[in-house]
Amino acid sequence: MTGLLTEAEGDPVAIENAQAKGEFLFVCEHASNRMPESLGTLGLSKDALESHVAWDPGALAVSRLLCEKLDGTLIHQRFSRLAYDCNRPPESDAAMPVLSEVYDVPGNRSMSAAERRSRVEEIYLPFHEAVTRAVADRKAAGRRPVLVTMHSFTPIYFGKPRTVELGILHDADGRLADGMLAAAAIGEAGYDVRRNEPYGPADGVTHSLIEYGIRFGVPNVMIEIRNDLIRDKIGQRVMADYLAGLLAKSVAALPAH
Ligand SMILES: [Zn+2]
């Protein structure tokens, strides 16, 4: 330990339904807005710390519902992405952002090399190792994992409303995304579903897909849900039902492994 997290704060990584029989492996990098105590507020207001700036509201709840419906395993990060954004590699400026949308993050400015290292070692690496191990273990056991990373985005970004409701994101491997988009096109739910929106590979958001999906040759997709749709339990359930349908149809259409 290098002194970022205390013993009482526990493991930065949580794994739920580890013994699941299904092939889905859900990953939620921005599940929590909890800040390590040693970092205080990073100089941010209470409002900012409760907003999308610090986490992806609703993403963990929808991930848990999906996990239950599809008998998947869920791995999520227990600390805020402002301490370390687990969907970014350590060399990225966005890993410990000094600016998040319109919010300045004073506590991430002028960090020493040792401080940066402790965030990488105590938050990112345990997460990285847990997801890598989950994928590798399944492959070693002759199973095919299907990687799904779960996110939510703010309906208003830099003052502009976003009309896209659901983003299906992919990098070089679009197998799972293609199937989901095809299923969404024939469905009647009426969501505004788009490929690689509101973000895409050029924004650097496909780190987890590359590390845990493409590198292992396993089907992978990143799901971005507009967070106003998953504010309450009903919205979360409706969205989870819809996504479970798209995922199941897309996986059924993949060639046998
Ligand atoms: Zn996110």
- For residue 93, is pLDDT > 60? yes
Ligand 1 centre from 204 Cα, in Å?
12
Ligand 1 centre from 223 Cα, in Å?
9
CA-based Rg of the chain, rounded to a whole angstrom? 18
**pLDDT, mean of residues 58-72:** 98
> Residue 252 belongs to what H/E stretch?
helix 233-252
CA atoms 162, 212, 179, 243: torsion sign = negative
Model confidence band, residue 190 (pLDDT cutoffs 50, 70, 90) = confident
Ligand 1 centre from 256 Cα, in Å?
30
The pTM assigned to this predicted structure is 0.96
Ligand 1 centre from 28 Cα, in Å?
8
Q: What is d(CA 13, CA 129) in angstroms, rounded to the nearest whole number? A: 10
Q: Of 75, 67, 81, give the one whose Cα is nearest residue 128.
A: 75
Check: CB of residue 152 under 8 Å from CB of residue 226. Answer: yes
